[in-house]
Amino acid sequence: DQQPYIYFLFADNQKDLQEFVNKRLEELQKDGTLAKLAEKFLGNKDYIPTKDALKVPSKK
């Protein structure tokens, strides 16, 4: 039941890079590229997080 996701860590001064990566991941998720890459290199597209799991944490 556990999903082996990879998380990116950014320093506080890397807001631009974080926004770029988050936007690009969302685009790759939407157009199906993440699923294709997972299928090709991992043998199963179930290794990618669902759209709901791709939420950017916010500061409280």
More confident residue, 24 or 6: 24
Say what the pLDDT of residue 17 is.
92
pTM of the model: 0.62
Provide the terminal-to-terminal Cα distance of the chain, rounded to the nearest Å. Answer: 29
- The C-alpha atoms of residue 48 and residue 38 are separated, in whole angstroms, by 7
Domain boundaries, the chain: 1-60
Contact 49, 3 (CB under 8 A): yes
Contact 48, 40 (CB under 8 A): no
Contact 8, 21 (CB under 8 A): yes
**pLDDT tens digit sequence for 20-58:** 988 898 898 889 998 898 889 888 877 777 666 666 666
